A and B are shown apart, each in its own frame.
Chain A
Amino acid sequence: MKSNFTREHRMAELVLSNYNLLPIINRFGIRLGFRDKTVEQICKESEVNPDFFLAIINTYINPDFLPDSGLVNVPVTSIVDYLQQTHRYYIDYNVPEIERLLNLLLKSSSSKNLQLIEKFYLDYKVELIEHIQNEEVKVFPYVLNLVNERKRIQNYSIHDFVREHTDLDEKLSDLRNLIIKFLEPTYDDNYCNDFLYALQRFEDDLKDHARIEDKILVPIVAKIEEELND
């Protein structure tokens, strides 16, 4: 098990340890120029709950990390807010960027297989957006309503709303395998590499996003539901 970041670590060290954390700290409204400030100081300045911040960072770095009971004190609204920021990042940046790189790759090649791969990606994109919309329109409002009103809606539970992420993960890994195994060699190396890098980063981020939902949000909401039953 890797050691986890704590409040006392310097924020600069945290970023230097892993650049993939950059978009994640951005989602908290935290930006560069840390000097020697600690995680705790920066969080205070940015009005971010340091426990929640560290839970998210440590889950990203170490998939086995499970926050201790301290996280129960994190407002559910903060978790939802973070997940929504993540969605926005996917829609505003990741998806257009992957598409831009895919288009460059397509232009560089006359591969028929690549055109099929594009179709596969476009189908995937539709599915991804549907998944995100389901969460934005159904899951998050249900969760926020539950927390704000302290009342359950009929017999619904969080498990009725949350869809499996397996399918989305599987298709991304299929996409990667189709390219690596079956691409015809008439393409631009650099465009193809950029595309695969971007895909890999997105896949990692998406897996992390799913872990936060499945291992942090869902258990907390299920616990609230249970309390409201009593």
Chain B
Amino acid sequence: MISGVVIVVHSNDIVRKGLSSIVRGIAGVRVVEQAVFGDFDFRATDILGYMIEPSALSHFKKLGGVCAKSKPKGILICVDSKRIDSDLPFIETNFSSDRIIDIVTETFTASKTSSENKDNELSSREVDVLKCVALGMSNKEIADKLFISIHTVITHRKNITAKLDIKSASGLTIYAIMEGYIEPSSIDIRG
């Protein structure tokens, strides 16, 4: 089973829309279509991977830093007619829908199990950071309290957001109370 967002980048409308429509048929998968690579909100957290045309590959690699942040779990290349010289998984436009679904599911599932954390459970360090965020502490204050660098705090926060799909500090506070990480009385909820 896979779930998350697949970004389909292809300049040919028929190929892109056809591919998107097939991939949308996989339960749990949402699709974002792009005619040209880029312009996607990389704060979106549950990116499964990309399906891109070969000509977009170099551009994709250039943006490697951006993509790394969103931690895509796999990349698929979509090829128009025949396989290009690359060790990435590929799809040809004459493949059947079933075959495409198999390849997509397999690629994104396989890479998922190789990632550090199989499910979205927070690590104990992430819980520490979450508690501090919920108490309204700044990144600097959190870094000082937990004896870690601000950079590490930011990384933890990104991972927390990615796992929970909650972006705002106030949303994280509500989550922390719901899950019993902090007492409702220990914070001042406005309103």
A201 CB to nearest B CB, Å: 19
Contact for B175 among A119, A171, A182, CB less than 8 A: A182
The stretch of A69-77, A151-159, A172-180 in contact with B is A172-180
Contact for A174 among B168, B177, B189, B191, CB less than 8 A: B168
Residues of A within 8 A of B179 (CB): 182
Interface string of B144-163 (1 = CB under 8 A from A): 00000000000000000000
A228 contacts the other chain (Cβ, under 8 Å)?
no
CA–CA, A123 and B136, complex, Å: 15
Contact for A116 among B164, B178, B190, CB less than 8 A: B178
Residues of B within 8 A of A193 (CB): none
Number of interface residues of B (CB under 8 A): 17
Contact for B174 among A116, A126, A173, CB less than 8 A: A116
B166 CB to nearest A CB, Å: 5
Give the residues from 177 to 191 in chain B that come closer than 8 angstroms, CB to CB, to chain A.
177-179, 184, 189-191
B184 CB to nearest A CB, Å: 8
Residues of B within 8 A of A187 (CB): none
A residues engaging B (CB < 8 A)?
1, 112-113, 116-117, 119-120, 122-123, 126, 167, 170-171, 173-175, 177-178, 181-182
B residues engaging A (CB < 8 A)?
13, 164-168, 170-171, 174-175, 177-179, 184, 189-191
Most buried by B among A119, A173, A174: A174
Q: Are A170 and B190 neighbours in the complex by a CB distance under 8 Å?
A: no
Residues of B within 8 A of A122 (CB): 191
Residues of A within 8 A of B168 (CB): 167, 170-171, 174
Contact for A171 among B171, B184, B189, B191, CB less than 8 A: B171
With A117-B174, A120-B171, A182-B175 in contact, do A174 and B190 touch (Cβ < 8 Å)?
Answer: no
Q: Are A177 and B165 neighbours in the complex by a CB distance under 8 Å?
A: yes
A30 CB to nearest B CB, Å: 32
